[in-house]
């Protein structure tokens, strides 16, 4: 087998694995309502496979440096969510989604110009989430209409994530860890939620999914920081496992807090 064919087949396998993750998450997101759907959406569905495959191709130093670039990008993502949520209340899909993606691209371009330390990346996240979480709070509680899934929904989402993984893996060797870390954090899951749900159920319900994602996205940023620290100390495999564990534990905690809050509200004073 020629090296080019081997690379192509291995790339297809990686894309298929990434697609399998998003298929499951997409179905849960649509059927579970905005709260659970948002918690699932903030798991490392697209970034996780990208980083796993980067770790197979590069050393721990590459992953550590890439995660430093990814950390402030997480702050850009919450601003993208805020832009979409606000615009989706009054505007159509094209304006809301297009403007939100433009916000992410502009912020990512600015972030790319700097060498980020762990402290600076954490500070950027704390400031961004400190601004956005209170602003998003008023848009979280919207009744989720019944969603009729169409045959192309899941394949489209899977294709988007698989394409992102292919881009990250195939270009990482010449763009380096910083750009790879930025591309890996492109919010493809949030973008697919906007693309699929907004035309079908309207802006406010779709915006509620993204608004409910704020706290989960903060946990995702924490997981990126854990990834950087753990990779430096213990290597890529341990770092990736600890980062995934951080995301899962964070989201389970949020789910548990939400359940207790609902239970107390039903019981009344």
Q: Please, are residues 33 and 181 in contact by the beta-carbon 8 Å criterion?
A: no
d(CA 154, CA 116): 36
d(CA 264, CA 189): 32
Q: Please, are residues 54 and 63 in contact by the beta-carbon 8 Å criterion?
A: yes
What's the whole-number mean pLDDT along residues 205-227? 92
Q: Is the pLDDT of residue 106 over 60?
A: yes
d(CA 118, CA 126): 12
Q: For residue range 51-72, list pLDDT tens digits in order.
A: 988 898 899 999 999 999 999 9
Quote the pLDDT of residue 68.
95
Quote the pLDDT of residue 10.
47
Q: For residue range 146-182, list pLDDT tens digits in order.
A: 666 666 666 776 777 777 777 777 788 788 999 999 9
Q: Please, are residues 40 and 189 in contact by the beta-carbon 8 Å criterion?
A: no
pTM of the predicted structure, to 2 decimals: 0.83
Q: Residue with structure tokens 């291995």?
A: 10
In Å, what is the CA distance from 152 to each residue of 98, 157, 160? 21, 9, 12
Name the band, by pLDDT with cuts 50, 70 and 90, for residue 115.
very high
Parse the chain into domains and list their residue ranges: 35-267
Q: How many CA atoms lie within 13 A of 258 on its CB side?
A: 16
- CB burial string 58-87: b at 16+ within 10 A, e below: bebebbbbbbbbbbbbbbbbbbbbbbbbbb
- CB burial string 221-245: b at 16+ within 10 A, e below: bbbbbbbbebbbeeebeebbebbbe
């Amino acid at each position: 087998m020629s090296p080019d064919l081997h690379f192509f087949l291995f790339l297809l396998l990686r894309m298929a694995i990434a697609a399998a993750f998003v298929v499951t998450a997409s179905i849960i997101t649509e059927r579970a309502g905005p709260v659970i759907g948002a918690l699932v959406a903030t798991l490392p569905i697209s970034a996780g496979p990208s980083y796993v495959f980067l770790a197979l191709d590069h050393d721990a130093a590459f992953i550590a440096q890439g995660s430093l670039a990814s950390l402030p990008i997480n702050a850009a993502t919450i601003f993208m969510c805020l832009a979409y949520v606000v615009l989706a209340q009054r505007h159509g899909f094209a304006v809301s989604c297009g403007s939100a993606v433009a916000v992410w691209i502009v912020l990512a371009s600015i972030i790319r110009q700097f060498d980020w330390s762990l402290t600076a990346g954490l500070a950027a996240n704390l400031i961004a989430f400190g601004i956005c979480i209170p602003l998003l709070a008023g848009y979280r509680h919207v009744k989720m209409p019944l969603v009729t899934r169409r045959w192309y929904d899941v394949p489209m989402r899977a294709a988007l994530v698989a394409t992102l993984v292919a881009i990250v893996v195939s270009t990482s060797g010449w763009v380096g860890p910083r750009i790879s870390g930025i591309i890996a954090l492109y919010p493809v899951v949030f973008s697919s939620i906007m693309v699929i749900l907004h035309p079908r159920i309207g802006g406010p319900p779709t915006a509620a999914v993204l608004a409910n994602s704020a706290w989960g996205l903060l946990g995702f940023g924490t997981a990126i920081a854990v990834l950087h620290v753990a990779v430096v100390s213990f290597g890529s495999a341990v770092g990736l496992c600890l980062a995934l564990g951080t995301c899962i534990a964070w989201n389970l905690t949020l789910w548990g807090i939400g359940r207790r809050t609902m239970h107390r509200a039903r019981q009344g004073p």
